[in-house]
């Protein structure tokens, strides 16, 4: 037993040491169900803005990227339990998440938006939403926002495991509106045939005061385990590099007609 424990300790030390020195292989995780940021292609691999940015960062760091597909619900626990090394899955940087993991600098930013039938009178305002059914993806910033400001105040918040399911129910008429990340809605719904007849209802929501801004977050970052400070640092450097050398802009142009980095 003692020998076995010793062997484990040596192996662990060895593995730890070889990882800590040079991150030449990084296991990246994404969800593969959040178009156009991360989607699953016909052959089961993942593609999208997040994946392209991740690959560009690895290239910049001269590391090998391997991709892991992980359900959104279990994303942070899986990172903490070392199933992979970094999450690049359009995850907003929030205080709650920062308690569990570290984040790199933002790699893009996005406001929230209420999506409803074109010409709808709905607005992301509590008074106008009373008596309505609003769909959100569970555990996202829009869920946090809706939970904090609207839950239990006369409207029903319906939580979905996947964003796509909320759109399905919106189209089916089970929801009056979906409350989502604007860029996700833009690329994943509004510009697609399924999204015909739907539009952003009211203004996009960047946070109307400091408190709302704190909920919506500082932008979208890459999550890394707290102990892997080096990796966070390396990713930040790589991020600054691709922002400067035009690679970021090239990837952005592939997906969006507008700037999504913000300032």
Partner 1 sequence: MELFDLSVITGSLPQFWRGLWMTLQLTGFALLFGFFAAIPLAVLRLSPNRLVAAPVAAYTYFFRGTPMLVQLLLVYYGASQWEWMRAAWEAGHPVWTLFREPYFCALFAFGLNTCAYTVEILAGSMRNTPHGELEAAKAMGMTRLKALQRIVIPSALRRMIPAYSNEVILMLQGSAIASAVTLVDLTGAARDVYSRHFAPFEAFVFVGLIYLALTFVLVGLFKLAEHRWLAHLAPRKAEAGRQS
Residues that bind partner 1 in the complex, under the rule CB under 8 A: 73-74, 76-77, 96-97, 100, 135, 138-139, 143-144, 147, 158-161, 165, 168-169, 171-174
Measured from the CB atom, the residue of 96 and 233 that comes closer to partner 1 is 96
- The minimum distance between CB 64 and partner 1, in angstroms, equals 29
Under 8 Å between Cβ of 225 and 75: no
> For residues 95, 88, 224 and 65, what is the CA-based torsion angle, rounded to 10 degrees?
180
Question: What would you measure as the largest C-alpha separation in the chain, in angstroms?
Answer: 72
- The 10 Å Cβ neighbour count of residue 5 is 9
Measured from the CB atom, the residue of 122 and 161 that comes closer to partner 1 is 161
Measured from the CB atom, the residue of 136 and 231 that comes closer to partner 1 is 136
Distance CA 231, CA 213 (A): 28
Under 8 Å between Cβ of 220 and 91: yes
- The token pair at 175 is 């929801």
Q: Which residue has the tokens 């990796």?
A: 231
- The minimum distance between CB 168 and partner 1, in angstroms, equals 6
């Amino acid at each position: 037993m003692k020998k076995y424990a010793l062997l484990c300790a040596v192996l662990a030390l060895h593995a730890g040491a070889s990882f800590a020195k040079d991150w030449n292989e990084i296991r990246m995780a994404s969800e593969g169900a959040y178009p156009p940021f991360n989607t699953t292609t016909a052959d089961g691999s993942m593609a999208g803005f997040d994946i392209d940015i991740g690959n560009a960062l690895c290239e910049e760091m001269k590391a090998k990227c391997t991709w892991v597909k992980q359900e959104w619900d279990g994303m942070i626990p899986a990172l903490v339990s070392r199933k992979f090394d970094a999450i690049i899955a359009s995850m907003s940087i929030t205080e709650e998440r920062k308690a569990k993991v570290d984040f790199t600098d933002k790699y893009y930013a996005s406001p929230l938006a209420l999506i409803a039938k074109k010409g709808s009178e709905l607005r992301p305002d509590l008074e106008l939403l009373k008596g309505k059914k609003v769909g959100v993806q569970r555990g996202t910033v829009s869920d946090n926002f809706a939970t904090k400001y609207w839950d239990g105040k006369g409207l029903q918040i319906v939580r979905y495991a996947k964003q796509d399911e909320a759109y399905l129910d919106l189209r089916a008429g089970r929801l009056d509106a979906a409350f989502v990340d604007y860029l996700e809605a833009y690329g994943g719904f509004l510009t697609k045939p399924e999204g015909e007849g739907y539009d952003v209802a009211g203004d996009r929501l960047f946070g109307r005061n400091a408190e709302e801004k704190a909920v919506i977050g500082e932008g979208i970052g890459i999550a890394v385990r707290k102990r892997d400070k080096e990796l966070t640092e390396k990713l930040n450097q790589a991020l600054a590099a691709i922002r400067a050398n035009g690679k970021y802009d090239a990837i952005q142009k592939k997906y969006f007609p507008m700037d999504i980095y913000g300032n």
